[in-house]
Amino acid sequence: MPDEYIELETRALADPDALRERSLDISEADTGHRPQPGHPMWHQADAFSEFAAQTERMVPSVAREITRYLGRTILDLYTEEGSAAEGETTWTLEGVVAGDLIEAGTQLASGQVVLEVTETVVLTAAQAAAVVPVAALEAGSAGSGLTGPLTLLRSLPFVQTVSLNGQTFNGRDPEEPEIFDDRVARGFAHIGRPTKPEDFAALVRDAIPTAYRVLALDLYVPGTVGEVERAVTLVPVDIAGQSIPQGERDLAAAEIALEREPNWIVSIIAPTYTDVTVTVAVSVWPGADPADVQTRVQVAVARALDPGEWGQPPATSRIPEWHDEPIVRRNELIAACDNVDDVRSVIDLTINGGTADVMLAGPAPLPRLAAPAVVTVV
């Protein structure tokens, strides 16, 4: 036999034809001739390659099923079936007669989302207003975050207006298998009672499916000065960098209270947003379209100040990260504008009317672009 070895590329294993050719390469190197179709060695290589390819395709599936089984049996984690958003409404009334009802099942709409009354409310004579609980008719995240007036789908003569009190919350889409797999992986990474900030952050991500990123502020209690031992404050945001409704944060806090060790102070708060305005003047290369450059510079500024990506390292793991970043730096915005195609140079840039860096206010600060950047092309 020759002293050389032929290396089989792992990526070829899922392709039976490619693996058969590798097997034939080995046979040719060993015997000096290459088996042709119809030869017993060719059929042997063909059968082996098909079996190996099927096995290779099966192994990840089996591994996933084992991981999911361990998640269910050890971590008591199950695929989320989804839930309907909940909320509270205020109904203004006129001409109510004793015994009038706002019945459970009465339907209302906010855009394309239909909600229904969840509990029958019995009214008293001349009652002017009522607080009524509602829930979305269908499970899903589309029902969360609704605000403002609702449309009554069946007229009631004594009802003047219906409006939501704050936002609807807790609407969840059915969980995708890949998301469940990630949740199981995080569960094994943080198995046991939470003792570190990242453990608590993982619990919040599990408790709030819409929480895309969670900032953990170690040794911090809202409203206090200085560090507090055995304290952590968690700040979840959705994929767009928007705060999670208070109702969902409260539910998550209740779940974590059951998991944490005694004497831990755990707070879940919303981020603090600071409005930012940007004015920039750029020069362009000959032949560039000024209007097009202007639009692309605006997009670059919006991306640099996107609360959904603020504090995110350039390269990160599958679990999105959020590092506390309290400063909007002028030189970073200049670099973002300078990297736009056809921009020759950034002549001037101001943030909130000045040329200094801007400090973002409050705990867990995020920027919020108050209006598209004002871009002048010279």
Domain boundaries along the sequence of the chain = 10-73, 86-164, 193-270, 273-377
Task: Give dist(CA 363, CA 370) in Å, integer.
Answer: 20
CB 136 within 8 A of CB 168: yes
Of the candidates 227, 188, 151, 226, the one whose C-alpha atom is nearest the C-alpha of residue 70 is: 188
Task: From 162, 183, 186, select the one nearest 172 (Cα to Cα).
Answer: 183
Q: CA–CA separation, 311 vs 72, rounded Å?
A: 34
Residue 187 CA to residue 76 CA, distance in Å, equals 10
To the nearest 5 percent, what fractions of the chain are helix, strand and coil?
30, 25, 45
* Tokens matching residue 294: 């202007």
Structure-block tokens of residue 44:
């042997």
Domain range 193-270, CATH class: alpha beta
pLDDT in tens, the chain (378 residues): 444 444 444 444 457 787 778 778 887 787 888 888 888 888 887 887 877 777 777 777 787 888 888 888 887 788 878 889 999 999 999 999 999 999 999 999 999 999 999 999 999 999 999 999 999 999 988 898 899 999 999 999 999 999 999 889 888 888 888 878 887 887 787 777 788 898 899 889 888 988 989 999 999 999 998 999 999 999 999 988 999 999 999 999 999 988 888 889 999 999 999 999 999 999 999 999 999 999 999 999 999 999 999 999 876 555 688 999 999 999 999 999 999 999 999 999 999 999 999 999 999 999 999 999 999 999
Which residues pair with residue 274 across a beta bridge?
A: 367
pTM of the model: 0.58
Q: Which helix (H) or strand (E) holds 221?
A: none
Q: Which residue in this structure is represented by tokens 């395709």?
A: 57
Provide the Cα torsion 103, 104, 108, 110; round to 10°: 140
Q: Which residues pair with 346 in a beta bridge?
A: 282
**H helix runs in the chain, sequence order:** 16-31, 40-73, 177-189, 197-207, 246-259, 290-304, 330-338
